[in-house]
Structure 1
Amino acid sequence: MPMDAREIEAMIREALPDATIEIKDLAGDGDHYAATVISSAFKGKTRVAQHQLVYNALQGRMGGVLHALALTTGVPQD
């Protein structure tokens, strides 16, 4: 059963409460999403470390229930 975009957003928000999150269903199938996540928690972290924080928030669902997630991360602009 595919994941709902609201569920993905809620899981990310739980791990990164200050995050600005935008999620798009790329194929309309609930399996292929693109997410943009902006959080101060990413400050000073490499892009890989930022992505790992998001993947950790999804609690192992990547590659299983959540088939594909194109991820863009960044820190808030001052």
Structure 2
Amino acid sequence: MNAEEVKNIIESQLQGSQVITGGEGCSFEVTVIDEQFAGLMPVKKQQLVYQCLNEYIADGTIHALTIKTYTPEQWKKLQS
């Protein structure tokens, strides 16, 4: 699996999200920007992302996953 595949999987399941990925092999870092994160606790945001990749984590295709989540507003502030 490569970072682009991880990106495509998340974007296909979290419609309207923007995903930035890095990593290779079985270790990846993902940054997910999505309006639906507004008002959610950090653990719930991560669960939404994990749900997209659960089958790949369970079968060992993805061994390590680092997740950062932001609303579009939070992301915009970070970029300033």
TM-score category, normalised to shorter length: 0.7 to 0.9
After TM superposition, the structure 1 = structure 2 runs for residues 23-38 of structure 1, keeping only pairs within 5 Å, are 23-25=21-23, 29-38=24-33
| Residue 41 of structure 1 pairs with residue 32 of structure 2 | no
- Matched residue type, 2:47: Q
AA aligned to 2:9 is M
Corresponding residue of 2:46: 51
Provide the C-alpha distance between the structure 2 equivalents of 1:59 and 1:68, rounded to a whole number of angstroms: 12
Question: Post-superposition, which runs of at least 4 consecutive aligned residues in structure 1 deviate over 3 A?
Answer: none
In the alignment, the residues of structure 1 paired with residue 66 and residue 9 of structure 2 have an alpha-carbon distance, to the nearest angstrom, of: 16
* Aligned partner of residue 58 in structure 1, secondary structure: helix
CA distance in structure 2 between the aligned counterparts of 1:60 and 1:42, rounded to whole angstroms: 22
Q: Which deviations, in whole Å up to 9, do the C-alpha atoms of 1:6-62 show, x marking residues without a partner?
A: 21111101111211111011xxx4111111001011111111000100010114212
Q: Give the counterpart letter for 2:41 in structure 1.
A: T
The within-5 A match list for 1:1-78 is: 3-25=1-23, 29-62=24-57, 64-77=60-73
Equivalent residue pairs, number: 73
| Counterpart Cα distance in 1 of 2:32 and 2:26 | 18
Q: Which moved more, 1:41-50 or 1:61-70?
A: 61-70
TM-score normalized by the length of structure 2: 0.80
Between Structure 1 and Structure 2, which shows a larger proportion of helix residues?
2
Amino acid of the structure 2 residue aligned with 1:16: L
TM score, norm. by length of structure 1: 0.82
CA RMSD of aligned residues (A): 1.5
